[in-house]
Structure 1
Amino acid sequence: MLFQVGGQGTRPTFFEMAAAQQLPDSLRAALTYSLGVFALRRPFLHKVLDYDDEFFALLMLVLETHSLRTTDASFSESLYGLRRRSVKIRASKNTSNKESNDRLHRSGLEKRQKVLSVAFLVILPYIKSKLHSIYNKEREARLQASLWGNDDGRLGDTDFLLDQAETSPERIQASSEAGSSMLDLKRKIKAIIGACYPWIHATNEGLSFAYQLLYLLDATGYYSPGLNVLGVQVCRATGQELMDSSSRISKIRSRERERLRGPMWLKAIQRGMLSCIYTTLDYAQTGLIAAVFFFKMMEWWYQSAEERMSAPTVYPPPPPPPPPKVAKDGIPLPQDRSLCPLCTQERVNPSVVGVSGFVLCYSCIFKYVSQYKRCPITLMPATVENIRRLFHDL
C-alpha cells in the first residue's frame, strides 16, 4: 500500500505524483541558474533575471495551456503519462439503501476546469512567489531597523524631484503629501503581507501535507487541495489515450487552420507562423528538459576541468638537510652513539645543542658552552639558551 512501485491500475503512485509536482520548481531553478551563468557573458540577460517570476510564469502559461488543451494534463503530468479526469458523483437508483453508495464517474475535463487548472498551476504559484519575495524584503527591513534604527539618512523620493526656484510652494506641498500618502499605503500593504504571509504559508503547507499523507495511505483520491477544489483526479493514461493524442492534436490544429481569414498571402504567413508555434510546442516538453540537462552536464564537465587545472600542485617532500660536519679542531665523535663526546661515558640527562643537533650529557654541555660559548663538535657559536633537555626515556 505504501510503495506502489509496480504501477498497477489507473491510480498513480505517490512517487509519480510527487515527481510531477516537483518538476516545475526544479525546472525553474535550473533555468534561473542557467540564465545566471549566461548573464556573466551577456549582461543584457540581467534584465530577464530581474523579472524572473514574470518570465517563468509566462513560459509556464504557454506550456500549461497547450498541455491541458491537447492532453488534459499539466506539463509535468503529461511527461509522466498522467491525465486529469473530472470526478462526478452519481448515486445508483436500482440498489438498496445499504448498497446505494456514491460511485465516482471520471470523464474528460470541462473548459471551466481547464481554465481553473491553469490558474492553480500558473497564477497561484506566481502570486505565492511575489508574496514570498515581499515578505523576505519586509523581514530584512525589520531586521535592519532593529539593528540600525529607522533613520538611515537617505532623502525621500519627493525631496529632490522639484526645484523650489521654479515651482510654487503649493505644488511642492501637494506633491509631497501625495508622495507621502503613497509611501504610507505601500508600507501598510507590506506590513500586512509580512504579518499574514507566514500564516497563509503554514496553512497551505499543512493542507498539502495532510492531503499527501492521506493519498499515500490510500484514504483519498486527491493529491492536493487544488485538485479537490477543482473536482479533478489524476489517473494514468491508457494505451488508447496515448495513441489517440496525436490524432486529437492534428484535429485541433486543422480546425485552427480552417479559421484563418484574409487573402492568400496573409493565410500563408499565418500558416507559417502556426507551423513554427506548433513545432516549438511539440518539442518544448522534451527539448526544454534536455537542454537544461545538457547544460548542467557541460557545466559539470568544464567545472571539473577547471578544478583540475586550478588545483595546487603537490610536490614531493624535500630531502633532509645533511648532518653538520665535525670541525677540524672540534671534539671527535665516539664510535658508540650512546656515549657523550665530552666525557666518553654513557649519556646522563641527554641534552641537545640547538645550533648543531648533537646530543651530550646535560652537565658536560652546560659547562662547556658556559665557558667557551660554542658547540664542542662543530665549534658553532652557542649559548646556554640553545641547550634543550631530552625526555625520551620517560
Structure 2
Amino acid sequence: MAERGAHLTAGLSASAGRPSIFEVVAQDTLMSAVRPAAQHACKVLAESNPARYGFLWRWFDELYALLDLLLQRHYLSRTSASFSENFYGLKRIPLGGGRGLWRLANLGLPKTQYWRSLLVIIAVPYVKVKLDRLFARLREEDDYAIHLPESSWKRLYKAFLAAYPFVNMGWEGWFLIYRLLYVFGRSQIHSPLLRVAGVRLGNLTPADLQAFEQRSSSASGPLTSESVVGNLTSFLGKAVGGVAMSLSTGVSVGVFFLQFLEWWYSSENQETIKSLSSLPTPPPPVHLDRLTNEALPRLKTICPLCNKIRTNDTALATSGYVYCYRCAYSFVKRHQRCPVTGYPSELQHLVKLYSPEA
C-alpha cells in the first residue's frame, strides 16, 4: 500500500511544474509552526517583565500580522511566492496563464493576483485565530458569567457557541477535499485559498533561479546615476531583502528547533513544562509605613480594587492575591493581567475561596 501511494505521488509530481502533495503540505505547515514559537517567546518576556513587555502579549496577533505582512509582501513582489512557498522552491502561477510556466518568478505577480494573495495569506489566518480565541474564551466564560434569561445577547452568545464547531468542521473539510482532489490529479490547486487568489503552485525552474542570481548580482553592483529617491528606494529594498534572506537562512536552521519544541510540548513533557514555565513568586506586600493610596490595603479583608470588605473571596492563581469576585472578574476580563503584579492572567485563573464558617 505504501509503495502504491509513493508511486502515485511520484507520478503526479512528475508533470510539468506540479509540486508533490508533500511539498505543498509542508509549506502550509511551516508558518503555522513558527507562530506558536513566537507566541511562547512573547509570553516568556511578558512574564519576566510585565511593565515593559506586557504589550507584546496583549497585542501579539496584531504585531505578528504586521511583521508577516512586511515579509510576505517582499516575497510576493520579488519571487511570486509567499515566504514558505519560496523556501520549498515553489512559485505562484495565475490560473488563466495556461499550462505553461507563465513568466519568470522574479517579475512578480499581476496586481490582481498579488493583492488577492496578500489578502488570503494575512487576513484569513488572522481572522481564524481571532474566532478560535473568541470561541474558547466564550466557552470558558459560559460556566462563570451571568446573563439575563431573556437577553438578546444570550441568544446570540448561545448561537455562536453552538454553530462555530460545525463551521470550523466544514472549513477543515473544505481543505481536505481540495487536497484529496490534488492527490488524485483532479485539481491543479490543493487549497481553496489559492482558488480565491486566482493562482496555482508550480516548481521554480532553472530560468527562475538564474534570474534570481542575476538580480542579486546586479543589485550588489555600484550605483552610478540614480537620484536621491532612487538611492533611498534601493537602500530600503536591500535592507528588506537582507532581512528576508536572513529569515530564510534562519528557518532552515530553525526547523530542527521547531521540531524540538513540538516534542517538548508533547503530553509526556507537560509536567516538566509546568514546573519550568511557572510564574515566579510575587513579591511580598510593601511595608505598612510605606503604603500610599494606590498600594495594598492595610486590612487583609479589604479588596485591593474596590477598597471595601471583600465579598465572594476569589484568588487569582497567577499571583495569589485575593479580591472580590466581581472586581477580579471585571478587571481580568478587560485587562488580561493581575491588578497588583501585572502578570498575564485569564478568567480561568480565578479561584473561588470558601471559608470554613460558610
User: Which TM-score bucket, shorter chain as reference?
Assistant: 0.5 to 0.7
Q: Is the 8 A contact 2:147 2:154 kept in 1?
A: no
Q: Is the 8 A contact 1:86 1:106 kept in 2?
A: no
Q: Is the 8 A contact 1:138 1:191 kept in 2?
A: no
Deviations 1:14-54 (A, max 9, x none): 11111000111101112122333344444433321222211
Correspondence for 2:239:
276
Distance 1:79 1:86 in 2: 20
What SS does structure 1 have at the residue aligned with 2:186? coil
Once the two structures are TM-superposed, the CA of residue 122 in structure 1 deviates from its matched residue by 0.7
Correspondence for 1:24:
31
The TM-score, its normalising length taken from structure 1, stands at 0.54
Matching of residues 27-38 of structure 1 within 5 Å: 27-38=34-45
Once the two structures are TM-superposed, the CA of residue 190 in structure 1 deviates from its matched residue by 5.5
Q: Is the 8 A contact 1:30 1:292 kept in 2?
A: no
Correspondence for 1:129:
129
Distance 2:234 2:24 in 1: 37
Closer, same or farther in 2 for the Cα pair 1:8/1:33, shift >3 Å? same
1:64 aligned to 2:72? yes
Deviations 1:287-330 (A, max 9, x none): 255357569879x99xx9xx9xx9xxxxxxxxxxxxxxxxxxxx
Correspondence for 1:239:
206
Which blocks of at least 5 consecutive residues in structure 1 are unaligned? Answer: 90-102, 152-183, 262-266, 311-394
Distance 1:150 1:188 in 2: 10
Q: Which has the higher helix share?
A: 2
Correspondence for 1:351:
none
User: For residue 243 of structure 2, what is the amino acid of its counterpart?
Assistant: T
The TM-score, its normalising length taken from structure 2, stands at 0.58
Deviations 1:229-285 (A, max 9, x none): 333110111112112124346778999x95743xxxxx8777655543332222122
User: For residue 110 of structure 1, what is the amino acid of its counterpart?
Assistant: P
1:107 aligned to 2:102? yes
Deviations 1:88-112 (A, max 9, x none): 27xxxxxxxxxxxxx6455253111
Closer, same or farther in 2 for the Cα pair 1:295/1:221, shift >3 Å? closer
Matching of residues 196-211 of structure 1 within 5 Å: 196-211=163-178
User: For residue 102 of structure 2, what is the amino acid of its counterpart?
Assistant: S
| 1:228 aligns with one of 195, 207, 216 | 195
Distance 2:85 2:162 in 1: 35
What SS does structure 1 have at the residue aligned with 2:247? helix
Correspondence for 1:119:
119
Closer, same or farther in 2 for the Cα pair 1:30/1:259, shift >3 Å? farther
Closer, same or farther in 2 for the Cα pair 1:271/1:15, shift >3 Å? closer
| 1:77 aligns with one of 85, 95, 119 | 85
Q: Is the 8 A contact 1:87 1:105 kept in 2?
A: no
Closer, same or farther in 2 for the Cα pair 1:232/1:143, shift >3 Å? same
> Which moves more between the two structures, 189-198 or 127-136?
189-198
Matching of residues 365-376 of structure 1 within 5 Å: none
Matching of residues 254-273 of structure 1 within 5 Å: 258=226, 260-261=228-229
Correspondence for 1:142:
142
Q: Is the 8 A contact 1:131 1:193 kept in 2?
A: no
User: For residue 2 of structure 1, what is the amino acid of its counterpart?
Assistant: G
Distance 2:68 2:120 in 1: 12
Q: CA RMSD in A?
A: 3.9
Distance 2:42 2:256 in 1: 14
Q: Is the 8 A contact 1:35 1:49 kept in 2?
A: yes
Distance 1:209 1:195 in 2: 23
Once the two structures are TM-superposed, the CA of residue 192 in structure 1 deviates from its matched residue by 5.9
What SS does structure 2 have at the residue aligned with 1:107? coil
Distance 2:111 2:231 in 1: 30
1:218 aligned to 2:185? yes
Deviations 1:211-235 (A, max 9, x none): 0111111211110111123331101
Number of residue-to-residue matches in the alignment: 250
What SS does structure 1 have at the residue aligned with 2:189? coil
In our comparison, the structure showing a higher alpha carbon Rg is: 1
Which blocks of at least 5 consecutive residues in structure 2 are unaligned? Answer: 104-108, 276-358
Higher relative contact order (CA 8 A, sep 6+): 2
What SS does structure 1 have at the residue aligned with 2:188? coil
Once the two structures are TM-superposed, the CA of residue 205 in structure 1 deviates from its matched residue by 0.9
Q: Is the 8 A contact 2:182 2:188 kept in 1?
A: yes
User: For residue 45 of structure 1, what is the amino acid of its counterpart?
Assistant: Y
What SS does structure 2 have at the residue aligned with 1:233? strand
Distance 1:295 1:11 in 2: 28
Matching of residues 312-331 of structure 1 within 5 Å: none
Distance 1:125 1:30 in 2: 16
What SS does structure 1 have at the residue aligned with 2:30? helix
| 2:14 aligns with one of 8, 13, 25 | 8
What SS does structure 1 have at the residue aligned with 2:187? coil
What SS does structure 2 have at the residue aligned with 1:144? coil
**Percent same amino acid at aligned positions?**
29
Deviations 1:178-233 (A, max 9, x none): xxxxxx89878766644543343222111101001111112111101111233311
User: For residue 14 of structure 1, what is the amino acid of its counterpart?
Assistant: I
Closer, same or farther in 2 for the Cα pair 1:51/1:191, shift >3 Å? farther
Distance 1:124 1:252 in 2: 34
